[in-house]
Structure 1
């Protein structure tokens, strides 16, 4: 279990694994290595052999059956010194490389997760599997942004990647999906890559969680453009996926080499789902708490090699 110490979502899966009498080891390489863990791996034969020791476990690497890559701490600290940058890079490519080379089940493989986090790839893959995708422009050219707003408006802005951000009061903040008018666009567009997208006229959202071949679909009603902005306003209903959605989601994760995906769709008045994004390592614990869906048990089963 590769995750940080304070991860209640991972705890839910560990509880389900303990119920199956699985032997579980928790390891956060960005924090534990090298001060609180040791690793040796030999690559003269296949599979490679090795041992990872933590404060509570000795893990024989060739006996590892599965790896759940959840939320490990980044190897590189903020504002690193030259020495910290070097040691963190060696850990990432050494420890991370060894763990990524194990011939076992991953949920999901870290390299597949990294690739699938890129929104341009998400949008291209969604169209490839047949999902309806809003017209989208990624640009730093203000003239193209203005022309897109006129032709495809109303439009919204979305960050291409969530990044740490501090508000005016010095508190952590987030940049949510926001409406954009043509007059809002100025030369500041040229300072970064921006994602602009046609605003979907929606009545609700769908959160679709894929675990292996199992698909869990929840309708989220909020009245918000971006439902993540206020969880207190959300209501949840477990629903049957619209026609074709299961097949599309399974094709999507298979194409990107994933076995997990947290999909977000906008639901139009006629019941049509419109693809917004897929987080390859997205949150799901709060949905299980709210609806009772057995997502943790499905992940545990996948890690144990069970098939639905």
Structure 2
């Protein structure tokens, strides 16, 4: 058995990562799990070396070598076959002191920088690629270039332009970033929702807003791409529901085939960002057309595996085990 291990970077409680780790364990693939933002500088210890001479050279003759120790287990940095960047905690400190903030940033750029520059490592996906792809304006541009159909979209802080756009067609508003949000101290989601011209007021000028023509959809599709494999599920929500994420308990799922031309476009989209994974959302109209809405470069998928019978855990474990990337 190949002794090179898979690093899994995620938070302590991550049921999705648990599925993949269990499958890799079943295959007897070595796995080392850590949460860099919380576990470093203790209990994680890093000793990474690069440069001519000494013991810094890897077997391939270059790149980062050395060791990463988590508790009683140690990884050879030059022999990591893959890194699964799931949902690690941010590098942060509970203290507002300047020295503590400086230390947190040094940890991020030190440990995070080394983990992002491992020789011969497959990244699912590289954290910098994920960060780039999280910007919706970049996604919409990449989607049009890849040949996907994109609804008319306006990003603005101009109330006049927003009102004009909303008067031209049925329109929805959705956030540019699905960050943490609370209502009266309770976690809440900001879902895509219809908006009319009469609702637009001066508050629009307080930040950027994304307005998009509402697609007359009859269903949605979530397409999950792992490497170059595409798994798709049709999602049917109750009538009148704009954002299916707000109605998880009332959804129906069925696996669907991804059209060949769509498959090629999705792979091209991910290649443009250097990603090995993407969770795409489409609105499907009565004529069967798929309209691109967004791509989550590190989206959730575990619930869809059971709901639609998609073999996603196997596909992800295959990719991590084989450790071969288009972006080495």
What do the CA deviations read for 1:262-297 (whole angstroms, capped 9, x no partner)? Answer: 000000011000000000000000011222311011
Match of 2:107 among 91, 111, 131: 91
What do the CA deviations read for 1:191-231 (whole angstroms, capped 9, x no partner)? Answer: 01110000110000000000011100100001321011121
Match of 2:87 among 65, 71, 77: 71
- Judged with a 3 Å threshold, the aligned counterparts in structure 2 of structure 1 residues 174 and 81 are, in CA distance, closer, same or farther, namely farther
Matched, 1:59 2:79: no
Summarize the alignment of residues 1-308 of structure 1 with structure 2, pairs less than 5 Å apart.
1-44=8-51, 45=57, 46-77=62-93, 80-103=96-119, 104-151=121-168, 153-167=169-183, 169-223=184-238, 224-305=241-322
Distance in 2, Cα, partners of 1:159 & 1:87: 32
Distance in 2, Cα, partners of 1:155 & 1:237: 28
Q: Unpaired runs of 5+ in structure 1? A: none
What do the CA deviations read for 1:89-117 (whole angstroms, capped 9, x no partner)? Answer: 11110000000000211111111110001
What do the CA deviations read for 1:37-80 (whole angstroms, capped 9, x no partner)? Answer: 11011111412211111124211111111101100011125784
Q: Which structure features the higher share of strand residues?
A: 2
TM-score for the superposition, normalised by structure 1: 0.96
- Judged with a 3 Å threshold, the aligned counterparts in structure 2 of structure 1 residues 80 and 208 are, in CA distance, closer, same or farther, namely farther
Distance in 1, Cα, partners of 2:36 & 2:42: 10
After the TM superposition, list the runs of 4 or more consecutive aligned residues in structure 1 that deviate by more than 6 angstroms. Answer: none
Report the CA distance between 1:83 and its aligned residue: 2.8
Moved more, 120-129 or 223-232: 223-232
Distance in 1, Cα, partners of 2:95 & 2:286: 48
Q: Unpaired runs of 5+ in structure 2? A: 1-7, 52-56
Distance in 2, Cα, partners of 1:105 & 1:14: 16
TM-score for the superposition, normalised by structure 2: 0.90
SS in 1 for 2:33: coil
